[in-house]
Amino acid sequence: MLKTKSQQQKNILNTIISALPDNRPITSLQLVEDYEKCPNNFQPINKTYDQDQDADLWRENILFGRRSSRYLCLSKTEGLPDYILETLKVIGDKEALPEGFSQLTRTADSEQKAWRKKQIVYRLAKKGVAKQAITDIILCSRLRQAPEGFSLAGEVNGILICYKTTLMAHRAPPSVPSRQSISDLEKTIEDLKIQAGQDKPHSMPLEPLDHDYEQLLPSYQISPKRPAPMPPAYSMGTLNVHTGMEGVPFILNPALSSNSFELPQFYVATGKDLTYDFQLERQILCTTKTTNAQNKNPFFH
């Protein structure tokens, strides 16, 4: 079956991502007896870094019966929220656990004893305060020192435990202004106010105020006293239609009705004023020289 273009692009992207180094901090460690039974979201270290051999940390030589093994697993998503693996070390089985460190006492898959003579212990730190974070752990079966870029945690049954760290960048908290700085700021503001006041020409007379907007009388109510109108109970078609004028009383504002005023007297035409003799028009038409125009003139009939 042919792959689509999007599937091919997705496979290429996954290949590129898998080839890039994963510099995320390790958040949790586990120990298992069978690396194929590694917990979800954990990755087993089942091969050595230098020789690609079995990375069993138990190293038990047995001819007959069941063989035991121990494999270290790491995760970059599981564990305590907001906590990361800060440092790692190997101590003896009889040594006291260092302060602030944790240890793996049982295998996650079979609940067996984790270690025999030596054990790996680790310290977790909160992301906001951790100075460094472990991003990778490798096991070496031939090398006697940590490879370049790695630190040595110790040796367990002939296998070196090495880890890589990265410095954690922390954003400095905002500084709290001191009382002295606040006082200096207030003094600067006052100086600016005084300087701005001195720059103004006090000798210039103030311009008269415009009377476009007169002060309203206290008795005049700007906002209406009536309650908001209720929407109409009827509907037109499938949607309710509102004109915005429902419930508005068309009456004169009480504030205006208290002021009495009279309408001006309009001009009234009488019967005598309605008569017109067209004398001016007759004189204008009589000045025409053509006889035909006089014959057709209605004022000469």
pLDDT digits (tens, 9 = 90+) for 91-106: 998 899 999 999 999 9
Residue 2 pLDDT exceeds 90? no
Lowest model confidence (mean pLDDT) among 51-60, 61-70, 262-271: 262-271
Class of the CATH-defined domain 20-167: mainly beta
> Which residue type does 100 have?
G
Predicted pLDDT of residue 212: 47
Strand ranges in 105-235 using DSSP code E only, listed in sequence order: 118-126, 132-140, 151-156, 159-167
> Which residue type does 286 have?
C
Q: Cα–Cα distance between 172 and 50 in angstroms, integer?
A: 40
Q: Cα–Cα distance between 9 and 24 in angstroms, integer?
A: 25
pLDDT digits (tens, 9 = 90+) for 206-251: 555 555 445 555 555 555 566 666 665 555 555 556 666 766 777 7
pTM: 0.53
Reference 90, options 160, 164, 165, 145; nearest CA is: 160
Q: Cα–Cα distance between 147 and 54 in angstroms, integer?
A: 19
Burial of residue 72 (number of CB atoms within 10 Å: 0-12, 13-18, 19+): buried
Annotated domain spans of the chain = 20-167
Burial of residue 26 (number of CB atoms within 10 Å: 0-12, 13-18, 19+): buried
% of the chain beyond a pLDDT of 90: 41
Residue 154 pLDDT exceeds 90? yes
Chain Cα centroid distance, residue 239: 39
Task: Take residue 21 and report the two structure tokens written for it.
Answer: 């180094």
Rounded to the nearest integer, the mean pLDDT of the chain is: 78
Chain Cα centroid distance, residue 20: 29
30 and 106 Cβ atoms separated by less than 8 Å: no
Q: Cα–Cα distance between 284 and 181 in angstroms, integer?
A: 98
Phi, psi of 118 (to 5 degrees): -130, 160
- From the CB of residue 119, how many other CB atoms can be counted at a distance below 10 Å? 21
Q: Cα–Cα distance between 157 and 72 in angstroms, integer?
A: 14
Q: Cα–Cα distance between 154 and 196 in angstroms, integer?
A: 72
**Structure confidence at residue 297 as a pLDDT band (50, 70, 90):** low
Phi, psi of 225 (to 5 degrees): -85, -20
